[in-house]
Structure 1
């Protein structure tokens, strides 16, 4: 019996994760892991079949906090955790749950939020080793993730909004468990950059579609794999943000040794892989062309930390893509995080008004 592309990808060593808050849609694909974010959770709980989770979060928060704002913040955390728990009932592996993207540059707030999310999971009987706290790969976020990873009882993390090698190396040096390069958005940035090239009269010149082998997002993942192989890093690469089945097949054709350890995919792409015939590359190539000397982006005392941060910011500016794309990604996630917050605040106020009328 021939394999489909989803089965072939799994046979090649690449782990499959689902990328959705709509947990009722993922069981048929048997993913190992799963990822969520504020946008996915808001989209899910806006549908009738998931709305009961909102009511649960509101009741939970009202019973534990006294102010509207305190209740709203706790309800948001509870809702993210409850979606994660429903997913954990379906998958055997780990679920990634995001901190509020609006905290991206606040080290202390990220650490506190990560610990609070884990405490709610553990209160519900789910151990921390089944959860990844998803943190934006700003410098504050990377340092916060290192603190969580190196706690007496480690909290493992997933660095998100990865767009370049500088971020990827910093995450590995910080000991972050997982990082998530955004394949499609990397391509978008390079496509826009190419489109802006002046053709001589000030107009933007259209560029031909690149072959998948030259896809900038796919090349980034392979560059990260090569660098990690060269420098001995063990941070797991979870490729995310795919736009097409063809991108997934191309990136996965060399298996986990030559590409990502995991891919996280929405249900529509999982279904697309399942409908496509697949093959296995039994002799995957292993890239290993990273520079001999690794730049240092994370320090371990006051002096080296200052130098390392300066190196990070300087190289990030040279690479440029993350400087542009991280704020853009944070802005989109923040809109949905606020929408989720507003939804819960409205429910809490309505409940308070109803109680006052009794």
Structure 2
């Protein structure tokens, strides 16, 4: 009999380990890996990864003397992400790496940073089609994803997604994937009096079904899981990234894991159930729809602040070594 993780994969869901720990990645054999400032900060403190940190520091020191301290630190952070990402790629065959969240409201700077990261990967021998660039789901970030996908052939994962408006705008921009945060949406729901359902499951299911019904090629990468039940209720989502503790809990399940989301059900849903939504490049329409979703507004800002704080902690850690 197939293991629970194999059953999950049999529903059509690609499983990704949300960790930068190589042992955990090897254990779960995911089809893709990821890095973000939080994972990097935790991993960079482990003695076993000192060699990767040293390589990133060497890159930072190699920059011209004209580089400012901030430029050197930012470049070192990117180099560290690529060092970890390269090793993750060797275990999975694909990796996603996040652009500095501080650039979330600057389209040209996001594009420039993404291309710098790709050059670092290319120097490590990774082909461009093996790397996804993670960008925040702001209007400016989504526009950067549009440019990177259209003009540079760069695969983009629009992350920090907390509502349908963000997902639709990213899909219209041609992003390869969007990452809605199941657990954080559910947390917001509980704090705001939603007691009759899991708001995270409802929101991510709506995003997945909407994109399938209206024919977008953008995949949904469900993230930030709190428990196995959330995994069960989203079985069949395109991509699923979860922490090792969640994947371990899935492996201990005894009841079969069966499809909860299917393309057939999404495409047959009525317009009343899944009403059309489109922005067609209209920034004002997007901003109004986004602003009308309190969870998306509050949790997007919170997530970006958290990633920024972890990036700053990582910079401080590296600064003591530079």
Q: TM-score, normalised by structure 2?
A: 0.93
Whole-angstrom CA distance in 1 between matches of 2:289 and 2:72: 41
Partner residue, 2:278: 296
Whole-angstrom CA distance in 2 between matches of 1:33 and 1:121: 16
> How many correspondences in the alignment?
315
Gaps of 5+ in 1: 195-206, 300-307, 349-358
Partner residue, 1:104: 104
1:218-268 deviation digits (Å, cap 9, x = unpaired) = 11122112211222111011000001112111211xx2xxxx101001111
Partner residue, 1:119: 119
Whole-angstrom CA distance in 2 between matches of 1:167 and 1:125: 33
* CA distance 1:192–1:76, shift in 2 (3 Å): same
Partner residue, 1:72: 73
Whole-angstrom CA distance in 1 between matches of 2:215 and 2:259: 24
1:254-292 deviation digits (Å, cap 9, x = unpaired) = x2xxxx101001111111111222525379651324468
Partner residue, 2:219: 236
Whole-angstrom CA distance in 1 between matches of 2:260 and 2:89: 34
* CA distance 1:12–1:149, shift in 2 (3 Å): same
1:1-358 aligned within 5 A: 2-66=1-65, 67=67, 68-92=69-93, 94-151=94-151, 153-194=152-193, 208=195, 210=196, 214-252=197-235, 255=236, 260-281=237-258, 286-287=265-266, 288-290=269-271, 294-299=276-281, 308-348=282-322
Q: Name the Cα RMSD after superposition.
A: 1.8
Structure 1 residue ranges (4+ consecutive) displaced by more than 4 angstroms after TM superposition: 282-285, 290-293
Moved more, 109-118 or 185-194: 185-194
* CA distance 1:309–1:345, shift in 2 (3 Å): same
Residues 234 and 261 of structure 2 are in contact (CA less than 8 Å); yes or no, is this contact kept in structure 1? no
Whole-angstrom CA distance in 1 between matches of 2:178 and 2:260: 26
Gaps of 5+ in 2: none
Give the number of the structure whose alpha-carbon radius of gyration is greater. Answer: 1
Whole-angstrom CA distance in 2 between matches of 1:316 and 1:290: 21
- How far residue 119 of structure 1 moved from its aligned partner, in angstroms, is 0.6
Q: TM-score, normalised by structure 1?
A: 0.84
Whole-angstrom CA distance in 1 between matches of 2:179 and 2:300: 13
Q: What's the secondary structure of 2:221's corresponding residue?
A: strand
* CA distance 1:237–1:49, shift in 2 (3 Å): same
Whole-angstrom CA distance in 2 between matches of 1:184 and 1:293: 25
Residues 104 and 110 of structure 1 are in contact (CA less than 8 Å); yes or no, is this contact kept in structure 2? yes
